[in-house]
């Protein structure tokens, strides 16, 4: 899949899988697409050689932002979606890629709202 097509899937997942009432609450977050996690990210996440990530949220969750958040210069949080691991997991199947992208975007936005992995698993939306 071309990177531009993958980026379009990410944009569509943002619009179709994140309800508007939550999208409008997401502030100061950059949604990025990268081919795969860098060596620095792999080290930070303590990934084994055979492990990878589909996505990653880095920042201060909305639940932890105090009244002074954003006073002065504040760099945006990031949600990064990793193209190659998703494509590999899906075996190149465009529908599976779309489903994994949607799930990953939802998962990372849930981290923005302060949910941990157990909470995310409990609240996981049904597959489309």
Give rounded-to-5 percent helix, strand, coil for the chain: 50, 10, 40
81 CB-near residues (< 8 Å, 6+ apart) = 10, 31, 32, 33, 34, 54, 55, 101, 104, 105, 108
Q: Give the per-residue pLDDT at 127.
A: 46
- Residue range 49-80, pLDDT digits in tens: 999 999 999 998 888 887 777 677 778 899 99
DSSP-based three-state secondary structure for 67: coil
For tokens 């569509």, the residue is 12
**Ordered domains of the chain (ranges, CATH):** 3-61+74-119 (3.30.2010.20)
| Rounded CA separation 16/63 (Å) | 24
pTM listed for this prediction: 0.88
Given a contact cutoff of 8 angstroms between Cβ atoms, the answer to whether 84 and 68 are in contact is: no
pLDDT over 90 for what percent of the chain?
70
Residues of the chain where predicted confidence (pLDDT) is lower than 50: 127-128
- The neighbour count for residue 13, using CB atoms within 10 Å, is 23
């Amino acid at each position: 899949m071309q990177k531009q097509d993958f980026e379009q899937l990410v944009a569509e997942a943002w619009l179709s899988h994140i309800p508007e009432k939550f999208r409008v609450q997401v502030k100061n977050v950059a949604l990025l697409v990268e081919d795969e996690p860098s060596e620095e990210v792999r080290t930070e996440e303590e990934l084994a050689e055979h492990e990878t990530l589909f996505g990653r949220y880095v920042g201060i969750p909305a639940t932890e932002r105090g009244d002074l958040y954003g006073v002065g210069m504040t760099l945006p949080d990031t949600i990064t979606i990793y193209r190659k691991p998703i494509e590999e997991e899906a075996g190149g199947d465009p529908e599976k890629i779309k489903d994994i992208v949607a799930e990953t975007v939802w998962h990372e936005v849930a981290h923005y709202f302060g949910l941990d992995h157990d909470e995310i698993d409990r609240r996981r939306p049904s597959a489309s």
